[in-house]
Amino acid sequence: CYIFQKGCGRKDCHHILNSSPSFDNWNVLIIVFTEMRDKLRKWREDNHRNSEQIVDVGEELINEHASKLGDDIWIIYEQVMIAALDCSRDDLAWTCLQELKRQFPGSQRVKRLAGMRLEALEKYEDASKQYDSILQDDPTNTAARKRKISILKAQGKSAEAIRELNEYLEQFVGDQEAWHELSELYINEHDYGKAAFCLEELMMTNPHNHLYCEQYAEVKYTQGGLENLELSRKYFAQALKLNNRNMRALFGLYMVSSHI
Amino acid sequence: MGEVELSCLAYVKMYLHACLFPRCSVNGLLLSSSPAGGAVCVTDCVPLLHTHLPLAPITQLALTQVDVWCAQTQQRIVGYYQANACVSDSSPTPCALKIADKIAEQCNNAVLLMIDGGKMSPDYRVPPIVMYERKDTRWTLKDKHTIMLRQWEETRDIASQLLDSGDHSLLVDFDSHLDDITRDWTNQKLNAKIAELASPANGNV
């Protein structure tokens, strides 16, 4: 491989040239670099949690192409750091964090990242203190509050997580992500009635989202009883109307219909 | 109760399933191609879900489809496995007990297997699994000495090899099948790969 190193064997290496250095090599180099940067941007925008890939591409970009990234580099450091925590790459996460600390001293956003690193190292008390200090300066910081709830979840304290999340939602009623998280917590506690309530909130604000309809239908089906099964059928059908390729909704509709 | 044998194929696929979705709870069914009676020989497994394990419709659907497939391929559903998202707690959840109960209705010496995430470090020496059997109406811990994994070291190495080479992404569970209906939840491709690695030609007995 000419661009990265000889015989790199990288799956997505787009090099074509094998001859001696020429102007063409630079063009290929730039094409590869922009592809990598665009990939990261797409994953960022779609909120993909493909952490191994992000670390792969991101680490390369940071190490080899930092100078070309301009101001993009900071958001990439953040993205790569979070992915690195997901993959137990504390070395990489630490490097990214240091760069961000240097560039944005005293930033709440960077403080939160430092907290996340402590979480990844299972230092939950220290992480919690970190978030508390953010909340002292800024009591409306939703990110810090949600991280505290994540800590409860990681420690298996579901009841407390549910309680805190409910309190949070009383203040921040429009937080979709939080409503969805709460519905998941309730499902795991087998509290289907409350899970259904959360999904109803989500369906109200996102009437075209077929996934919420389908999940609601699954919860209703699980609750059982004629009334719930009829609602279940209605919402499986609705999900299919919104997306006729939703297989879960299709099978669900079939199954619930055969029960009624 | 009786002895339980876990085949290389079943273990490797369960292990890879847990590795493929490290942030979710995963579950699946344990199958046997041996006739009923005597020791339980788990010869294969079908990975089922990695989302919303407690919800009924997809679980029921999967159980039905696997049942039909088993009838066609002379296999039986003999157990259930689950790996919890929360690594520190590997005890069976209520939904695990429910599904295991259902399986036990059809199969006398059904087993409930929990994968212990906390013991899945790169250099683990013993199988990171905990097995339960049904005594009266409760699921109780099975005596470790009645659980057999032949060629454990080779099995463990095969699992690591597939993980390192990225082949664990070949694994298809029922959830993935519903996301893309063309994907095969019986995992024929992966089965072939595992069989190849386990064959005597590779120096494994």
pLDDT in tens, A122-142: 999 999 999 999 999 999 999
pLDDT value at A162 more than 60? yes
Q: Min CA distance, B22 vs chain A (Å)? A: 10
Q: Decide if B162 is inside a domain.
A: yes
- From chain A, the residues in CB contact with B55 under 8 A are 187, 218-219, 221-222
Q: Return the DSSP state at A207.
A: T
Q: In the prediction, which pLDDT does B205 show?
A: 44
User: Could you tell me how many residues make up chain B?
Assistant: 205
Q: Decide if B204 is inside a domain.
A: no
Q: Which of A255, A257, A258, A260 to mutate to test the interface with B (most CBs of B within 10 A)?
A: A255
From the centroid of its chain, how far is CA A149?
15
Q: Which of B60, B94, B178 sits opposite A248 (nearest CB)?
A: B178
Distance CA A183, CA A191 (A): 9
Write down the residue that tokens 């049904």 correspond to: B134
Percent of chain B with pLDDT strictly greater than 90: 72
Nearest residue in chain A measured CA to CA from B96? A188
Q: Does A156 touch chain B (CB under 8 A)?
A: yes
Would you report the helix, strand and coil content of chain B in percent, each value rounded to 5?
Answer: 40, 20, 35
- From chain A, the residues in CB contact with B185 under 8 A are none
Q: In the prediction, which pLDDT does A148 show?
A: 96
Distance CA A225, CA A208 (A): 27
pTM score, two decimals? 0.88
pLDDT value at A120 more than 60? yes
Asked if residues A97 and A113 have their Cβ atoms less than 8 Å apart, the reply is yes
Q: Which of B23, B55, B88 sits opposite A187 (nearest CB)?
A: B55
Phi, psi of A122 (to 5 degrees): 65, 25
- From chain B, the residues in CB contact with A49 under 8 A are 23
CB contact under 8 A, B61 and A255: yes
What average pLDDT does the structure give for chain A?
89
pLDDT value at A13 more than 70? no
Phi, psi of B147 (to 5 degrees): -105, 125
Q: Decide if B122 is inside a domain.
A: yes
Q: Which of B20, B25, B53, B58 to mutate to test the interface with A (most CBs of A within 10 A)?
A: B58
Q: Decide if B41 is inside a domain.
A: yes
Mean pLDDT by 10 residues, chain B (205 residues): 89 95 94 88 96 95 96 96 91 94 92 92 86 91 89 91 91 95 95 89 52
CB contact under 8 A, A251 and B181: no
Weakest mean pLDDT among A31-35, A92-96, B49-53, B194-198: A31-35
CB contact under 8 A, B58 and A247: no
Write down the residue that tokens 């309809």 correspond to: A213
pLDDT digits (tens, 9 = 90+) for B101-143: 999 999 988 999 999 988 888 778 889 999 999 988 899 999 8
Q: Decide if B203 is inside a domain.
A: no
CB contact under 8 A, B86 and A218: no
pLDDT value at A17 more than 60? no
Q: In the prediction, which pLDDT does A28 show?
A: 65
| Domain of residue B121, CATH code | 3.40.140.10
pLDDT value at A241 more than 50? yes
Q: Decide if B138 is inside a domain.
A: yes
Distance CA B49, CA A218 (A): 14
pLDDT digits (tens, 9 = 90+) for A199-209: 999 999 999 99
Q: Decide if B140 is inside a domain.
A: yes
Name the residue range of residue B52's domain.
4-198
Q: Mean pLDDT throughout A239-250?
A: 95
Overall number of domains in chain B: 1
Q: In the prediction, which pLDDT does A7 show?
A: 44
Q: Mean pLDDT throughout A202-227?
A: 96
Q: In the prediction, which pLDDT does A260 show?
A: 85
Q: In the prediction, which pLDDT does A20 show?
A: 45
Q: In the prediction, which pLDDT does A2 show?
A: 40
Q: Mean pLDDT throughout A243-249?
A: 95
Q: Mean pLDDT throughout A101-107?
A: 94
Asked if residues B74 and B99 have their Cβ atoms less than 8 Å apart, the reply is no
Q: In the prediction, which pLDDT does B112 show?
A: 96
What average pLDDT does the structure give for chain B?
91
Distance CA A43, CA A47 (A): 6
Beta strands in B84-179 (DSSP E): 111-115, 129-135, 138-141, 147-148
Q: What amino acid is encoded at B37 in this protein?
A: G
CB contact under 8 A, A187 and B23: no
Q: Decide if B84 is inside a domain.
A: yes
Asked if residues B48 and B172 have their Cβ atoms less than 8 Å apart, the reply is no
Q: In the prediction, which pLDDT does A123 show?
A: 96
- From chain B, the residues in CB contact with A154 under 8 A are 86
Asked if residues B82 and B25 have their Cβ atoms less than 8 Å apart, the reply is yes
Q: Which of B61, B93, B95 sits opposite A251 (nearest CB)?
A: B61
Distance CA B25, CA B100 (A): 16
How many interface pairs between A and B have CB atoms less than 8 angstroms apart? 47
Percent of chain A with pLDDT strictly greater than 90: 76
Q: What amino acid is encoded at B181 in this protein?
A: I
Percent of chain A with pLDDT strictly greater than 70: 88
CB contact under 8 A, A247 and B178: yes
